[in-house]
Structure 1
Amino acid sequence: MMMKVVSFSALLVAVFAGCALAAPLSFDNLKKTSYIAEAVISLPYAAISEPVKVYYDAGAGRSRVEYYHGMDVYVMREDVGKHGYQFQINPVTDNERTNVMTCFGINGTKDDPITVQSLIPDLSKYEKATNPVMYRGLFCDLYTYSYLVGAKSNTYSFYVNRATGLPVGFEMRGYDDLLGSHYDEYDIYFYDFIVTVPSNISLYEPPKGMSCGDFPGPGVAVHHHRGGLHMHEDYEAAEKEVGAAFDSFKAQHGRMYETEQEHAKRLNNFRHNKKFVDAMNRRNLTYTLALNHLADLHDEERAQMRGTFSSRTDYAYVAETPSPVRSAARDWRTTGAVTGVKDQGICGSCWSFGAAQAIEGQYFLATNRTVPMSQQALMDCSWGFGNNACDGGEAFRAYEWVLQNGYIPTEASYGPYLMADGYCHPEKADKGPGIKGYVNITSGDMNKVLDMLDNDGPLAVAIDASLKSFSFYSSGVYYDSDCGNTPDDLDHAVLAVGFGTSVDGEDYWIIKNSWSTNYGDRGYVRMSRRNNNCGVATDAHIPLL
């Protein structure tokens, strides 16, 4: 089999020694090429660098994506079943095992088929620069795709080794097309690229002796496709008025789409979301909506940013009653008990943010020190208590692991948030605080939840975040009569950091979300306390230091 290999150290030697190289690969055919590639995906804003290796068999409809040197493996197969099949292999730590590689399978559906994934974007719109450039020590042809809206220019730059025609780097300044996440700057640095057909079927099957089951715990039905390199299909663009608003949205949030199909689908999502926001704002509600960084996403895509559930069976609503000893308002953000707003990205890990940040609040109250704790450790290590890392979990299950382990590691010592299921390694990190236990606050009792929040600090809570109105909250006090409050309704974990009453007399909670500062009021939402709307008082927890 003919293969073309680029390894940057070897290639530099070959170039400077004057060795003859094979004819360059055609740029036009690069997207259709089967290959094996190694690269690093860098997210500068989030300070995340993900090593990735991709096996891409274009003809057979198979791909394998490995993150962190095989720690997380995602295999997509269009050739299995009617709508494709995906399996993922992640390290699982539970009460009986530590870091055991475990396989979970997901079948595609008509509405959500499994498709192969590639590191190479659609290059049909890119234009080649007249002169070569020096990039990462190599002479490269530069291909760019850019557009200008107002004063802001958004540009993709794709660097191809002039001698071999193989990719060297990909800089994205706008929407992260390859990862399907929020707007950010992304860089992809290729380190090895082998032009070959990785046809060995063993690459696309679980290892011998390993079977692929369902996810453990209550998250058995909560699956998120997370290969990380998905390219979506779309259709033609629509009316001029919506198109003009969409252009403004792209400029504001740095969106840029690789293909006309992608642009058309995102425009269609935007069209429906805009109509919804406009219609809701005409109803003169207690809150307003605005098109935010989620406006080009489909409802199913936004659902991937939610990742909790509730095991509570004791829900009974107890209405709020006035208390002479309860504060009229409380905001723990003003004390130092609340760390900065974070972004969970394309990972259903909201439960780990709520749990870790509740511990942060208790640690501040005990020591007067604001120290971020490791969400990643909770993701990596609490499988044995029924949590599923990027595929969902519950705060109290994370506390059970902290109790067993003796402490939660600090974020600085354990390592940064990976946006991926990782290896459990608390013994290599600095010990953060331990907990003596935790309180499952009486489900549905508004008074007890308010009193605990008033006197004892921020609470990890679960809410119903499934409504589109919640996704586009902008200001005011959020109340939607369709927002559920039973345990079965809860699907997103957040942090309650305070409460108060608006000038219009609407009582509210102050809720910290984990969808970045682009969401709501700089990452926060004021949620109505009326009738336990959205279930803030249904499944609330507080750790005890």
Structure 2
Amino acid sequence: MHSSRIFYFLTTLITLTLADGPRHGKRGYIHPHGPLLTLPHVSASAGVLVGPHPPHPHPIHGGIGFGGEHVRFDLHTMQQPNYIQNEFKKLVPVSLENLIEEEWKAFKLTYGKSYPTDEVERFRREVFIENRAKIARFNQEYSKGKTNYVQQLNPYGDLLNHEFNQLLNGFRQTTANATGAEIPAPTTFIPSANVAIPNGVDWRQVGAVTGVKSQGACQSCWAFAAAGALEAAWFRKTGQLVDVSEQNLVDCTTEYDNDGCQGGLIDPAFQYIRANNGVDGEEVYPYEGQDGQCRFKRDGVVAQCTGYVNIAEGDEKGMEIAVSTQGPIAVAIDASREGFQFYSDGIYYDPECGNGQDDVNHAVLIVGYGQEPNGQKYWMVKNSYGAQWGIGGYIKMAKEANNHCGIANQATYPLV
């Protein structure tokens, strides 16, 4: 590796170490010798202190001796030349290459990474280093108050951005009906009149949302979004939270022009469940993350739907009313930006994020909405990248920000 590249990695790594901070707004300092992947989750609400410790109101007294002296130990002591020279001699030099290698090993161990050949691993290592540097640069911008969210390495740290999009974001813009299956028209959403809409809603708090899942290397986001919306609607109807099988939808909706792990749409999933008079549960039809033959079992049905409702394109106010009065809704967004790939915390806003119909490429589930103390509004969104991504698998997306990332373009929920 070129020395200039190593130096750049080291400087950005140190910068990110200083920028990392614990969750829940607690102020603290990061021990400089621990691997970065074991640091607390980066939080956009954390109070980060960078630089020398502020003076302690009560200096620490101790019998610490150096240079043949017995002195009172405090911050002033730590700045003395004799102390620094003495402690410097005790430090064990670490080469830059070793530092990078330790970071790489920690990444592989943390996320269970393995590669088929040495050549593939060398390439993925270079991608990892590049992503690490980009994250550090971005978080520097956050520390300057130039962004509303922070980034952190996650299981996708060894993927280029276009690879990430091609592997995971499978919402497909297609209306073709090549198979000729009967597709009922959606019901139009009519917002309730004279209904007081709360300032914040979170359907997780009443038990209407199942745990975060991972779609793996399968473009089945549409199936997870559809399943999540049906789970919530069924909970509201029956009081029982069921776990709908995404694999059932992946394998069995090809007749409705979905393409399994190569992508699909949300509405055809509801169309299939309606025509099939139900969908299996996860226990009977577990997720495999790959295409397979349809293996639906009638005795495994856990939920049904009678149709679905589409909210008018671009109508965020209508979405707010629907989420507050009907429950979680499935939507599509533009998830193609690098900031989305490594989102960690805060309200996601990227001025380059597309909001047109042709821009959306990933399906997710809105489970609520809220507002930060500073007045910034957000949608609380459940993703299907696993709990090691984002805020335990969730992301706060900018609300009432000109249909940011096209979040209101394809909003829908099932009727039960």
Q: Normalising to structure 1: TM-score of the pair?
A: 0.52
- Give the conservation status (yes or no) of the 8 Å contact 1:356–1:375: yes
- Give the conservation status (yes or no) of the 8 Å contact 1:464–1:489: yes
Structure 2's unaligned 5+ residue stretches are: 1-32, 36-95, 176-193
- Give the conservation status (yes or no) of the 8 Å contact 1:310–1:462: no
Give me the whole-angstrom Cα distance separating, in 1, the residues matched to 2:124 and 2:391: 24
Runs of 4+ deviating beyond 6 Å: none
Aligned pairs for 1:264-303 (under 5 A) are 264-284=122-142, 285-303=147-165
| 2:359 is equivalent to residue 489 of structure 1 | yes
- Give the conservation status (yes or no) of the 8 Å contact 1:475–1:521: yes
Structure 1 match to 2:346: 476
Give me the whole-angstrom Cα distance separating, in 2, the residues matched to 1:247 and 1:431: 44
1:241 to partner: Cα distance: 5.7
Give me the whole-angstrom Cα distance separating, in 2, the residues matched to 1:371 and 1:324: 29
| 2:319 is equivalent to residue 457 of structure 1 | no
Give me the whole-angstrom Cα distance separating, in 1, the residues matched to 2:358 and 2:196: 33
Structure 1 match to 2:296: 426
1:280 to partner: Cα distance: 1.3
| DSSP 3-state at the match of 2:404 | helix
- Give the conservation status (yes or no) of the 8 Å contact 1:349–1:391: yes
Give me the whole-angstrom Cα distance separating, in 1, the residues matched to 2:173 and 2:317: 20
1:258 to partner: Cα distance: 5.1
| 2:400 is equivalent to residue 544 of structure 1 | no
Give me the whole-angstrom Cα distance separating, in 1, the residues matched to 2:304 and 2:101: 53
Q: Which amino acid aligns with 2:215?
A: Q
Q: Normalising to structure 2: TM-score of the pair?
A: 0.68
Give me the whole-angstrom Cα distance separating, in 1, the residues matched to 2:255 and 2:323: 29
Tell me: CA distance 1:421–1:254, structure 2 relative to 1, closer, same or farther (3 Å).
closer
Give me the whole-angstrom Cα distance separating, in 2, the residues matched to 1:490 and 1:375: 21
Structure 1 match to 2:391: 521
Give me the whole-angstrom Cα distance separating, in 2, the residues matched to 1:268 and 1:452: 45
Structure 2 match to 1:168: none
Q: Which amino acid aligns with 1:308?
A: F
Per-residue CA deviation, residues 137-180 of structure 1 (Å, 9 max, x unaligned), is: xxxxxxxxxxxx989xxxxxxxxxxxxxxxxxxxxxxxxxxxxx
| DSSP 3-state at the match of 1:505 | coil
| DSSP 3-state at the match of 1:452 | helix
Aligned pairs for 1:209-248 (under 5 A) are 242-248=100-106
Return 331-340 or 429-438, whichever deviates more.
429-438
Tell me: CA distance 1:416–1:472, structure 2 relative to 1, closer, same or farther (3 Å).
same
More helix by share: 2
- Give the conservation status (yes or no) of the 8 Å contact 1:360–1:372: yes
Q: Which amino acid aligns with 1:273?
A: N
Tell me: CA distance 1:405–1:275, structure 2 relative to 1, closer, same or farther (3 Å).
same
Structure 1 match to 2:305: 435
Among 272, 275, 279, the alignment partner of 1:401 is 272
Aligned pairs for 1:332-371 (under 5 A) are 332-371=203-242
| DSSP 3-state at the match of 1:448 | helix
Structure 2 match to 1:97: none
- Give the conservation status (yes or no) of the 8 Å contact 1:460–1:542: yes
| 2:169 is equivalent to residue 306 of structure 1 | yes
| DSSP 3-state at the match of 1:418 | coil
Give me the whole-angstrom Cα distance separating, in 1, the residues matched to 2:34 and 2:405: 39
- Give the conservation status (yes or no) of the 8 Å contact 2:168–2:218: yes
- Give the conservation status (yes or no) of the 8 Å contact 2:242–2:303: no
Give me the whole-angstrom Cα distance separating, in 2, the residues matched to 1:384 and 1:254: 36
CA RMSD of aligned residues (A): 2.2
Per-residue CA deviation, residues 61-89 of structure 1 (Å, 9 max, x unaligned), is: xxxxxxxxxxxxxxxxxxxxxxxxxxxxx
Give me the whole-angstrom Cα distance separating, in 2, the residues matched to 1:344 and 1:257: 20
Q: Which amino acid aligns with 2:268?
A: R
More strand by share: 1
Q: Which amino acid aligns with 1:401?
A: Y
| DSSP 3-state at the match of 1:495 | strand
Structure 2 match to 1:448: 318
1:427 to partner: Cα distance: 4.1
Give me the whole-angstrom Cα distance separating, in 2, the residues matched to 1:401 and 1:256: 38
1:242 to partner: Cα distance: 4.4
Give me the whole-angstrom Cα distance separating, in 2, the residues matched to 1:445 and 1:267: 43
- Give the conservation status (yes or no) of the 8 Å contact 1:371–1:410: yes
Q: Which amino acid aligns with 2:233?
A: Q
Give me the whole-angstrom Cα distance separating, in 1, the residues matched to 2:341 and 2:325: 30
1:253 to partner: Cα distance: 2.8
- Give the conservation status (yes or no) of the 8 Å contact 2:148–2:346: yes
Q: Which amino acid aligns with 2:379?
A: W
| 2:261 is equivalent to residue 390 of structure 1 | yes
Structure 2 match to 1:381: 252
Structure 2 match to 1:183: none
Give me the whole-angstrom Cα distance separating, in 1, the residues matched to 2:380 and 2:237: 22
1:338 to partner: Cα distance: 0.3
Give me the whole-angstrom Cα distance separating, in 2, the residues matched to 1:433 and 1:253: 34
| DSSP 3-state at the match of 1:282 | helix
- Give the conservation status (yes or no) of the 8 Å contact 1:243–1:267: no
Structure 1's unaligned 5+ residue stretches are: 1-148, 152-237, 313-322
Give the percent of matched residue pairs that are identical in Structure 1 and Structure 2.
38
- Give the conservation status (yes or no) of the 8 Å contact 2:280–2:298: no
- Give the conservation status (yes or no) of the 8 Å contact 2:257–2:268: yes
- Give the conservation status (yes or no) of the 8 Å contact 1:485–1:535: yes
Tell me: CA distance 1:405–1:492, structure 2 relative to 1, closer, same or farther (3 Å).
same
Q: Which amino acid aligns with 1:357?
A: G
- Give the conservation status (yes or no) of the 8 Å contact 1:150–1:251: no
1:506 to partner: Cα distance: 1.2
Give me the whole-angstrom Cα distance separating, in 2, the residues matched to 1:499 and 1:349: 24
1:392 to partner: Cα distance: 0.4
Alignment length, in residue pairs? 300
1:334 to partner: Cα distance: 0.8
